[in-house]
Amino acid sequence: MKIAPSLLAADFSALAQEVARVQGADWLHIDVMDGVFVPNISMGPPVIAALRDKTDLLFDVHLMIEHPLAYVEAFRRAGADCITFHTECADDPQELVEAISRNGAKAGVAIKPATGVDAIGPWGQALSMVTLMTVEPGFGGQKLMEAPLVKIRQIKERFPHLLVQVDGGVNASTIQLCARAGADAVVAGTAVFGAAEPQKEMERLRALQ
């Protein structure tokens, strides 16, 4: 599985240095929260733009915001390579997929733990990735919920071309659950950025699969 450290768990006072610590990652997961869709606020396009020339890592920008459509262009300009929105947001998913593709980014969708796979409509054919939340979105450091992992197989049956990424509570104790369930990638925030040596921790996570 691919390893994607979540910037939400990094030291916000030294983000450039923190990104440098995870150069061995497959891509960087960047959580954007608006304080409305989830009860927390994180960062916006200026922060992402400031980090863009500090690394060659792919930026998977996870928009946990109520109205992501209005911000697609801004996040793409800031350096997002993949833009992931939630099925539970207030904007039309078909319009979001089209806007993301039109701006030259890959489109992804995220679903909360209680959201069924049926929430991904025909527009799922145009996606690159599904991010399956195994915690309630909004805060890092939560415990992985095992029940949502059954949706990985369901997603792959309907959309075999999609990468399925697990986001929430992934660490050395839970990564094998994700592997057995069929995940293609995992988001690991606290486990990686909280380690004394993030590179070694990512190697450990890969070895445990």
Residue type at position 109: V
Annotated catalytic residue 167: yes
Chain mean position to CA 19: 16
Q: Which of 31, 34, 60, 91 is catalytic?
A: 31
| 180 Cβ neighbours under 8 A, 6+ residues apart | none
> Catalytic residue at 31?
yes
3-state secondary structure string, 175-201? Answer: HHHHHHHCCCEEEECHHHHCCCCHHHH
Tell me the one-letter amino acid at 198: P
Spatial neighbors of 23 by CB under 8 A, at least 6 apart, are: 55, 57, 199
59 in the Ramachandran plot: left (φ > 0), alpha (ψ -120 to 50) or beta? Answer: beta
Exactly one of 34, 118, 167, 184 is catalytic; which is it?
A: 167
Catalytic residue positions?
Answer: 31, 167
